[in-house]
């Protein structure tokens, strides 16, 4: 039976028993189900600054969980071993929302403030994130997302009331460049605009030579962010060779510093990373 996934702009329509592009959502009996529900590949107690979130509970720790799959295909993916994996190509362990929240509570003495869904793309596992959040929030725990922002407005609106903070990757600033990464710039911009003012929001651009390291693109990006709010923090981080770009050159530190100076013409908070 035909089924259409309504989570992201790809709107995949996999055949019975098959998965969509993300490898994490499948057609079962004519219904799209979250195949990676509760399947955790990575779990770590991280500093909140590692997400990166610089202006949300600085100095705190957060229990960070990842699964597998992604609805984009960046040639430089830093977590390709899980982001481009499926249930058969990476190791995972099943955990219930109640068990994950209980585990997070156990780390409170070490400074843990909640749960971060990260490492792979968390929004393709929206149902699991939402179920965990509904348990964690009444217990006073924070919910954080590290996401590419490739989500349709309706499911995003459903999730936002249960989220405290997010870092959204703004990977480039033309539709052509986004399409080369398997994404949709307009969808990401809409997600950013919907989140602003409702949760704590920070943005990250991984600066990749030849993709988004030109002054004009970054100036356009910073100006658009400022049109949403000039107080949204922007992280400009340095690329290192990875995945299908292992033979590329790392981003020169001077490029990051130059682009940060341009971004500060529009934005109050600009941070540099991986220098």
Q: Is the pLDDT of residue 1 over 80?
A: no
- What's the half-sphere exposure (Cβ side, CA atoms, 13 Å) at 244? 5
Tell me the average pLDDT of the chain. 97
| pLDDT class of 232 with cuts at 50, 70, 90 | very high
Comparing CA positions, the residue from 48, 143, 161 lying closest to residue 100 is: 143
Comparing CA positions, the residue from 247, 253, 243 lying closest to residue 273 is: 253
Provide the token pair at 104.
């997070």
Render pLDDT for 26-50 as a digit per residue (tens, 0 to 9).
999 999 999 999 999 999 999 999 9
Angle of CA points 261, 165, 65, to nearest 5°: 110
Rounded (10°) CA dihedral 107, 147, 134, 110? 10
Residue 39 is predicted with a pLDDT of: 98
Render the burial of 89-121: b for 16+ CB within 10 Å, e for the rest. Answer: ebebeebebeebbebbbeeeeeebbbbbbbbbb
Q: Is the pLDDT of residue 153 over 80?
A: yes
φ, ψ (nearest 5 deg) of residue 112: -70, 135
Residue 5 is predicted with a pLDDT of: 98
Render pLDDT for 173-193 as a digit per residue (tens, 0 to 9).
999 999 999 999 999 999 999
Angle of CA points 183, 71, 232, to nearest 5°: 60
Pairing mode of beta strands 93-94, 39-40: antiparallel
* Percentage of residues in the chain having pLDDT higher than 70: 100
Q: What is the mean pLDDT of residues 221-237?
A: 98
Q: Which residue has the tokens 């052509």?
A: 176
| pLDDT class of 262 with cuts at 50, 70, 90 | very high
Q: What is the mean pLDDT of residues 147-166?
A: 98
Residue 202 is predicted with a pLDDT of: 98
Render pLDDT for 75-117 as a digit per residue (tens, 0 to 9).
999 899 999 999 999 999 999 999 999 999 999 999 999 999 9
Residue 92 is predicted with a pLDDT of: 98
| pLDDT class of 2 with cuts at 50, 70, 90 | confident
Neighbours of 187 (CB within 10 A): 20
Q: Are 18 and 28 in contact (CB under 8 A)?
A: no
* Percentage of residues in the chain having pLDDT higher than 90: 97
Render pLDDT for 11-20 as a digit per residue (tens, 0 to 9).
999 999 999 9
Q: Are 196 and 187 in contact (CB under 8 A)?
A: no
Q: How far apart are CA 245 and CA 261, in angstroms?
A: 27
Q: What is the mean pLDDT of residues 245-262?
A: 96
Residue 62 is predicted with a pLDDT of: 98
């Amino acid at each position: 039976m035909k089924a259409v996934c309504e989570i992201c702009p790809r709107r995949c329509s996999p055949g019975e028993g098959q998965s969509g592009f993300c490898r994490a959502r499948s057609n079962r009996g004519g219904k799209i189900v979250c195949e990676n529900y509760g399947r955790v590949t990575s779990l770590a107690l991280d500093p909140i600054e590692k997400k990166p979130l610089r202006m949300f509970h600085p100095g705190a720790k957060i229990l960070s969980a990842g699964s597998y799959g992604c609805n984009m295909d960046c040639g430089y993916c830093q977590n390709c071993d899980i982001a481009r994996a499926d249930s058969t190509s990476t190791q995972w362990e099943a955990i219930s929302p109640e068990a994950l929240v209980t585990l997070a509570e156990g780390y409170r003495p070490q400074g843990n403030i909640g749960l971060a869904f990260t490492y792979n793309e968390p929004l393709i596992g929206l149902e699991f994130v939402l179920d965990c959040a509904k348990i964690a929030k009444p217990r006073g725990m924070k919910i954080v997302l590290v996401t590419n922002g490739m989500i349709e407005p309706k499911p995003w609106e459903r999730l936002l009331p249960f989220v405290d903070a997010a870092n959204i990757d703004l990977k480039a600033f033309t539709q052509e460049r986004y399409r080369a990464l398997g994404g949709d710039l307009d969808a990401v911009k809409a997600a950013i605009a919907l989140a602003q003012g409702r949760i704590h929001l920070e943005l990250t651009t991984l600066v990749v030579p030849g993709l988004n390291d030109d002054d004009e693109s970054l100036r356009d990006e910073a100006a658009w962010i400022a049109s949403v709010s000039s107080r949204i923090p922007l992280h400009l981080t340095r690329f290192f060779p990875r995945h299908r770009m292992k033979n590329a050159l790392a981003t020169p530190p001077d490029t990051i510093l130059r682009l940060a100076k341009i971004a500060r013409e529009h934005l109050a908070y600009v941070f540099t990373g991986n220098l």
